[in-house]
A and B are shown apart, each in its own frame.
Chain A
């Protein structure tokens, strides 16, 4: 009862469980941005992020009758999203990803780093912003899965260590350690580009 008063979104979910479809519509409108952005930052693909968000809301929709407001509603929906994202990324791990920035091996034991592009134009100020954006994306993408999730939840969702520990199912100390290592990794990767950033 206390939770219901504290968390209006949990109240919406309970209303929906009692057959009020408009309550679910409110949840969908309120959380779609949050869920899509969390998935997008984790997967780094817009179409896949939307698919994951659809999956998240389908799970929320069909678990309404079993829903018990033990934690904050937002924590619960973050947890579902994080689980689907992590499973999605792990299932894709068997695919070999070839980076276009890495040197390409040729038959004559020589390595070429890139293909000449006749349409290449020197980056303007606008494309420099895109480049920085790309650098940040790549740096985050290179982090181990758990560090990446902790960074996204802390930096972009502004969650506390306690909330992150609830979502990721680990201790607060573990979250602290994950973020500490993630920051060191990011520092190593991004420091050479600081003159651009």
Chain B
């Protein structure tokens, strides 16, 4: 393995991220190459020097602040939303809503039944008299739309278009 390739792999070699074959190739190269050995020493020293940076401890009230934030956020939620999410779970609320809707429609139909009109012979003839039948188009002049309709329906489509 050449020096360039070894130097590219030194970082992964230091972190023990190479497979056995590549590790052994690099070890073999390092045993013979002082330049690559020097590079590894410098990198190892650099990497090791980072250990001086110590950890910090969370502040004593970290958890208390967190739970305070949660309570604060929950109090800011509208009452209806809080009831939905806390007291009544969402799926239950949806089922209750559907049952309420269907039950309401059913009750409404029982309490306020629809008025159905019953036509007697007399009332029917009265309706017919007042109703605008299409036959009334006969009174229209033959060139009008009504006249055209009558000629289409009653005279067997024998329309003559004058040129």
State the CA gap A9–B63 with chains docked (Å).
Answer: 18
Q: Within 8 Å CB of B65, what residues of A? A: 54
Q: Within 8 Å CB of A53, what residues of B? A: 58, 62
Is A136 touching B53 in the complex (CB atoms < 8 A)?
A: yes
Is B56 touching A197 in the complex (CB atoms < 8 A)?
A: no
The contact of A176 among B12, B42, B46, by CB within 8 Å, is: B12
| Interface status of A160 (Cβ within 8 A of chain B) | yes
Is A190 touching B17 in the complex (CB atoms < 8 A)?
A: no
Known: A161-B15, A183-B11. A32 touches B50 (CB 8 A): no
Is A194 touching B69 in the complex (CB atoms < 8 A)?
A: no
Is B46 touching A190 in the complex (CB atoms < 8 A)?
A: yes
Is A129 touching B52 in the complex (CB atoms < 8 A)?
A: yes
Is A191 touching B42 in the complex (CB atoms < 8 A)?
A: yes
Interface residues on B, range: 20 to 34
Shortest distance between the CB of A154 and any CB in chain B (Å): 6
Known: A154-B15, A183-B11. A40 touches B56 (CB 8 A): yes
Shortest distance between the CB of A103 and any CB in chain B (Å): 27
Is A137 touching B53 in the complex (CB atoms < 8 A)?
A: yes
Nearest to B61 among chain A residues (CB) is A50
Chain A binding surface SS class = helix
| Interface status of B55 (Cβ within 8 A of chain A) | yes
| Interface status of A37 (Cβ within 8 A of chain B) | yes
| Interface status of A57 (Cβ within 8 A of chain B) | yes
Chain A to chain B contacts (Cβ below 8 Å), 9 pairs: A33-B58, A36-B56, A41-B53, A53-B58, A54-B62, A58-B73, A187-B46, A191-B46, A197-B49
The 10 closest A-B pairs by CB, nearest first: A180-B11, A187-B46, A197-B49, A32-B58, A36-B58, A186-B46, A161-B17, A179-B11, A136-B53, A37-B55
Q: Could you list which residues of chain A lie within 8 angstroms of chain B, going by C-beta atoms?
A: 25, 28-29, 32-33, 36-37, 40-41, 46, 49-50, 53-54, 57-58, 61, 129, 132-133, 136-137, 140, 151, 154-156, 160-161, 176, 179-180, 183, 186-187, 190-191, 194, 197
6 further interface pairs, Cβ-Cβ under 8 Å (given A28-B63, A136-B50, A160-B17): A33-B55, A40-B56, A137-B53, A140-B53, A161-B17, A186-B46
